Structure 1
Amino acid sequence: MTRIAVLGSTNMDLVAYVARAPQHGETVTGREFRTVPGGKGANQAIAAARSGAEVTMIGAVGNDDFGTRLRATLDHSGVDTDLLRTVEGPSGTAHIVVDDEGGNAIVVVPGANGTVTALHYDDEAAITGADALLLQLELPMDGVFAGADAARRHGVRTILTPAPVQPLPPELLEATGLLVPNEHEAAALTGIADPHEAVTALLRRVPEVVITLGAAGSMYASRFAEPVTVPAPQVRAVDTTAAGDTFVGALAVALGEGRPMEKAMAWASAAAALSVQRPGASSSMPYRSEIDAEAAAS
């Protein structure tokens, strides 16, 4: 079984559903509100576990009700939470507005995630024993780099989602094996709007890149191969909040099982297509049997 370590955030998502998102200074009436366990780290951990991997979550929650619920959700999804610390203070939260087109806008308040600035001994041991380490940018950069550096020293593949997008230190990029931005993040990192041109710029910094393109699928390029685009199943999106995290979690599992990159991307796209047809983050993520069925039908 593929073993995945995830060093990342856990947040309680506070989600408001609206016909359209408010403009600056405007108030709109929503039709529904939900609290859904999420956070990019927890989302990727759950996605990977439901896709069939053995997953260890490294991070922190607060000693509040949200923290208890976040841990329970990970446990219920089969994620090992022994290395998920409980710290004094509030858990992280994400304040999300979802419109009728399935688009979203998100404000993240780090809370307990902000305390993860270094690895503990057991954290490094879990990374050493993994087939891949999944990283995102909702933890302090010191903590993210500590994980990437440990993975590099032990020959573990690092898969980095550069979100929320921000300038990436050269030392982090040097320790990254596969970078997985969406097209907007790729543009922000390079200053180049066209993802086909942006990927060339990104390959100067990392050896492999997958850019997710929403309904258009995903594009892969490496320093040793020409770019290739893999289409996504065509579905009607209800909520795209966790699409990218679902894709990354499933992709890591598929690669860990030895699938060629294009087939791994197609399988991950099937997982993401299922997730966008359901509301919420972790609650929308499909199980392996569902992904297999969707991929076979695509």
Structure 2
Amino acid sequence: MADGPVFVLGSFVVACSAKVPRFPRPGEALAAQTVTIEPGGKGLNLAIMSRRLGMVVDGILAIGDDMAAAFAAPALGRAGLPGSMLVAIPGPTGSGVGFTDGLGETSVAIASGVNSAVTRGHIQARAGAIASAGLVMAQFETGDDPIAEAFGIARRAGVETLLNPSPFRPIPPDTLRQTGILVVNETEAADLAADIGCDPADAGDPARFATALAPAIAARGPALVVMTRGAAGAIAVPRCGVAVAQAGIAVDTVDALGAGDAFAATLGVALARRHSLADAMLHAAAAGALTTTRHGVFDALPGPEAIAELLALRRLTPESRL
């Protein structure tokens, strides 16, 4: 087991997602098959997934002073997360809109709201919890300064860090140096490649990613670089060691929102529990796949029993269970 809780430098948004036969054209009003309004945000998703895997979870989730903030406390209670994670900041609570088309592909727009108003001071006030964590996770619905502060505290204390830079923006070099595990999708990998002066096309080919792009990223800090590839699976490249390619796990996909968050959290938890990289990748792939089988994210994020059941059904053999 990890030596301490998972600390999530999170984000809270009120998420509205629509299932549509195809993405709407400019100026078009399109009839949706379903619309889901639920508590969300990449940070909240990471926290919920970690908790469903049995971890003690701590962290920071910013909410505003508007009506949308009322969604937060009941959501955390229902997810088994401590209300102490919530930090009230004047301004609008984060919000997001997502579309899922008939093929299960997604398109998302996020307004971070007060998630972007979290400061180094908020992080410093939780320095003790960060330093005693077993894993610190962050994503890019929060600003650069608090992530840098949290990761600096964590690394000085010998605590592992995981970054999912989504929605993508250039990663500050100091933050990349303080990142132990970097998880990106193919689009984010291509954007990161362009930002560091590599060929973005290397993100589109797993072999080139493993031999060229991932080592170039690892040279800037991360000990493990992971690229998710949707239904095609994922590939993990350690700075020292052998790359692990994980095939996608076929399921009946209805909504791919949140699959990347489920994957990242499960990978981080499995590695914090000292599973092998191959075992962690398999569990993460199963978690991501299961998340796509239900509409929305909050109730779709799976627990360990569902993950084990899927792996048994597909006759996949992890070394151990989460």
- TM norm structure 2: 0.88
Q: Distance in 2 between matches of 1:220 and 1:187?
A: 16
2:21–2:102 Cα contact (<8 Å) kept: yes
> Is 1:200 the equivalent of 2:215?
yes
Moved more, 186-195 or 158-167: 186-195
- Asked if 1:112 corresponds to 2:114, the answer is yes
Return the alpha-carbon distance in structure 2 between the equivalents of residues 57 and 296 of structure 1. 33
What's the counterpart of residue 52 of structure 1? 54
Correspondence 1:1-298 to 2 at 5 A: 2=2, 3-118=5-120, 119-190=122-193, 191-192=200-201, 193-197=204-208, 198-205=213-220, 206-298=222-314
Deviates more, 1:75-84 or 1:166-175: 75-84
Per the TM alignment, residue 252 of structure 1 is displaced from its structure 2 partner at its CA by 1.7
Deviation at 1:175, TM superposition (A): 0.4
DSSP 3-state at the match of 2:81: coil
Shifted more, 51-60 versus 167-176: the winner is 51-60
Q: Distance in 2 between matches of 1:246 and 1:52?
A: 14
Cα 1:24/1:196, change in 2 over 3 Å:
farther
* Stretch of structure 1 that moved more, 26-35 or 129-138: 26-35
C-alpha distance in 2 between matches for 1:33 and 1:232 = 27
Question: Match of 2:170, as an amino acid?
Answer: P
Instruction: Report SS of the residue matched to 1:280.
Output: coil
Q: Is the 2:123–2:150 contact (alpha carbons within 8 Å) kept by the matching residues of 1?
A: no
Q: Measure, in 2, the Cα distance between the counterparts of 1:162 and 1:89.
A: 24
Contact kept? 2:57, 2:81, Cα under 8 Å: yes
Report if the CA contact (8 A) 1:89-1:111 is conserved.
Answer: yes
Q: Where does structure 2 lack aligned partners over 5 or more consecutive residues?
A: 194-199, 315-322
8 A Cα contact 2:130 2:153, kept in partner: yes
Q: Aligned equivalents of 2:59 and 2:74: distance in 1?
A: 12
Amino acid at match of 1:248: A
Comparing 155-164 with 182-191, greater Cα deviation is found at: 182-191
Relative to structure 1, the CA distance from residue 120 to residue 184 in structure 2 (aligned partners, 3 Å threshold; closer, same or farther) is closer
Partner deviation per Cα, 1:184-226 (whole Å, 9 max, x = no partner): 2111110233343232332222221111111121111112123
For the residues of structure 2 that align with 1:201 and 1:117, how far apart are their CA atoms? Answer: 30
Q: Could you list the runs of 4 or more consecutive aligned residues of structure 1 that deviate by over 4 angstroms after TM superposition?
A: none
Q: Distance in 1 between matches of 2:47 and 2:247?
A: 24
Task: Output the CA distance in 2 between the equivalents of 1:213 and 1:238.
Answer: 17
Contact 1:183/1:195 (CA < 8 Å) preserved in 2? no
What is the rounded CA distance, in whole Å, between the counterparts of 1:235 and 1:181 in structure 2? 22
User: Which amino acid in 2 is paired with 1:107?
Assistant: A
Q: What is the rounded CA distance, in whole Å, between the counterparts of 2:246 and 2:34 in structure 1?
A: 35
Give the superposition deviation at 1:114. Answer: 1.7
Whether the aligned pair in 2 keeps the contact of 1:51 and 1:249 (CA below 8 Å) is: no
Distance 1:221 1:202 in 2: 10
Instruction: Extract unaligned runs of 5+ from structure 1.
Output: none
Task: Please give the alpha-carbon distance, in whole angstroms, between the structure 1 residues aligned to 2:192 and 2:168.
Answer: 7
Q: Is the 8 A contact 2:104 2:253 kept in 1?
A: yes
Q: CA RMSD in A?
A: 1.6
Q: CA deviation at 1:122?
A: 4.0
Aligned length: 298
